[in-house]
Structure 1
Amino acid sequence: MTHFFADDGAKLHVKISGEGSPIVMLHGWTSSSQEWFPFLTELNKRHRVYRWDARGHGGHKQDVKTPPTVERMARDLSDLLDHYGLEQVTMVGHSMGALTLWQYIRDYGTKRISRLCFIDQSPKLLTDADWGHGIYGDFNGEKSQEMLGTLNDDFAEGVLKLTAFGLNARAREKYLAGASGWERSRSALRAQDPGPLIKCWESLTKADYRDVLASIDVPSMLIYGGESNFYRTETAHYVADRIPNALLQIYEGTDHSPHQWQRERFVRELMAFIEQPPQAV
């Protein structure tokens, strides 16, 4: 693992592997660069892959006081591109990573981006009377405040409950049954520093990128779970209808991490998408 320094002095960890055109892969909230490890064998045959641990993530202690807001992470992404001199980059963002990309596009545009892949995310997490495509289709400001209280009381359990008591019935059943996978997740979450991650969550829930979607002028592929914990397929179609010429893939039977449940399909479709000539996308 190597690192680079953001413009505020923060030391950010990144793993780099493979040779070829660059791919930057941005993980979800509470996750790390390890999220992308299962895809490296194939991706590294043709691409140089950059996988960071976002600020406040990956188990690394924060060495500056700047909180990991989505705006700050977008600036960190710009700093990463500057540090490694990257141009014509394929960027892949899952969940929080997708929000980071939308913020980056708002702040910096798409001139350094060749392709975009967004995985299972809404441009606005909180719902209201005029917006029903956020978390669960029913997660308003009041419920968001309740969630913050839960995170402050017991961070690990709050994250697990957010995932378990959503739209995916199997997740709820496995959580209630105390399945081994949930126990491993609980242990991993308890090993993290909750303070920065809670600040990050507050930032994510305040964001609204609906206006950004129509401005995306590079080829984009969208991947959504057919049984996502958080979003119905209507959310996927909303995003696809607003990003010009977006390619939408619904992975039936998968949750908020469709790429993890259908790994061979994901890496195959991502590589095919990257390698298509622009006019064919």
Structure 2
Amino acid sequence: MESLSREDGTTLHYISLGQGEKTLVFLHGWTASVREWLPFASELAQNHRVVCWDARGHGAHTYQPDSETSLPAMATDLESLLTHLNINDAILVGHSMGALTAWEYIRQYGQQRLAGLCLIDQSPKLVTDQHWSHGVYSNFDSQRNQRFLQRLTEDFPEAVLELIGQGMNLRSRQNYEQNSRGFQQMREYLEQLPGALLTRCWDSITQQDYRPVLAAIERPALLIYGDQSQFYSAELQQWVHQQISGSELHIYENSDHSPHLWHKERFIYDLNRFVDAL
């Protein structure tokens, strides 16, 4: 992996593959890493330049205990990475937290460096209230979020598994209740992560409201959602589609919060077609 040092002492790690007229910049989800995109990167790099990073606080790297892990800091990192690599035609591909990072980037830096967006299974506001029901579970208010933050400090791995396993996807609920091999492997993975840094990251994530950003997006946008997401409703999918003018919405069947992983070939096809049309 290549690296880029930031002014606050944080080192960003990334991979860069391929060549092409457009550059796909992949932004992973919370608790994930560059590995989320490895199944796609090499194939997409046959026709495009591909850049994938480990967001600060993520990946198998050493971070200082007081490292900043907020979304605004990640957006600043992204601007520095685009500058460092001289990228002025980026298609940001953001899954979950990666979509939030893309929206925060637009809020801070605008869309001048962007050619398009691909946003995967995310809401612009995770915490619900009396005026907003399209966040996590469609019922995740500030009090529930505070309880979750407390749970993260008590037992980070199990709290994350509970968030996944107690969501709206029946298959995930059953696998969590049965402590399936998949959940055992996730637990083993989560135990290796810097829980305190990622807890602060979640706190930053749930403080954000990107609803005003969506209506201001002028670049072409490809939206991909799972029809059985653990976290987000069909109403949220349509709401985001309506807010981003001219956006293209794909709903992948039999898919959870990571529809691109359930339908790898379809995702590559849809993304290639979207990029070729820009």
Q: Check the 8 A contact 1:59/1:193 in 2, yes or no.
A: no
Is it true that 1:198 corresponds to 2:199 in the alignment? Answer: yes
Q: Structure 1 stretches of 5 or more lacking a match?
A: none
- Is 1:186–2:177 an aligned residue pair? no
Give the drift of 1:40.
2.1
Q: Normalised by the size of structure 1, how large is the TM-score?
A: 0.97
Instruction: Give the whole-Å Cα distance in 1 for the aligned partners of 2:82 and 2:153.
Output: 34
Counterpart amino acid of 2:93?
V
Residue in structure 1 matched with residue 82 of structure 2 by the alignment: 81
Q: Deviation string for 1:77-134 (max 9, x for gaps)?
A: 0111111111111110000000010000000000000010000000000000010000
C-alpha distance in 2 between matches for 1:254 and 1:31: 18
Match of 1:35 in 2: 36
Q: Secondary structure at the match of 2:92?
A: strand
Runs of 4+ in 1 over 3 A off after TM superposition: 63-66
Q: C-alpha separation between the residues in 1 aligned to 2:66 and 2:223?
A: 34
Shift in alpha-carbon separation, 1:187–1:64, aligned structure 2, 3 A: closer
Question: SS in structure 2 opposite 1:206?
Answer: coil
Listed as ranges, the gaps of 5+ residues in structure 2 are: none
Alignment of 1:58-77 (within 5 A): 58-63=59-64, 65-77=66-78
- Please list, as runs of the form range in 1=range in 2, the aligned pairs for 1:35-54 lying within 5 A after superposition: 35-54=36-55
Count of aligned positions: 277
TM-score normalised over the length of structure 2: 0.98
Question: Could you say what secondary structure the match of 1:37 adopts?
Answer: helix
State yes or no: 1:116 paired with 2:79: no
Q: CA RMSD in A?
A: 1.0
In structure 2, give the amino acid aligned to 1:78. Answer: E
How far apart in 2 are the matches of 1:181 and 1:17?
Answer: 30
Q: For residues 185 and 256 of structure 2, what CA distance do their matches in structure 1 show? A: 18
Q: Distance in 2 between matches of 1:68 and 1:135?
A: 21
Does the alignment pair 1:12 with 2:12? yes
Partner-residue secondary structure (3-state), 2:216: coil
Q: Percent identity?
A: 45
The DSSP-based 3-state class of the residue aligned with 1:214 is helix
* Cα contact 1:10–1:64 (8 A) shared by 2: no
CA contact (8 A) 1:9 1:64 kept: no
Q: Deviations over 1:187-209 (max 9, x none)?
A: 00001111110000000001000
1:65 alignment partner, SS class: coil
2:228 is aligned to: 227
- Distance in 2, matches of 1:46 and 1:243, equals 27
In the alignment, is the contact (CA less than 8 A) between 1:136 and 1:230 conserved in 2? yes
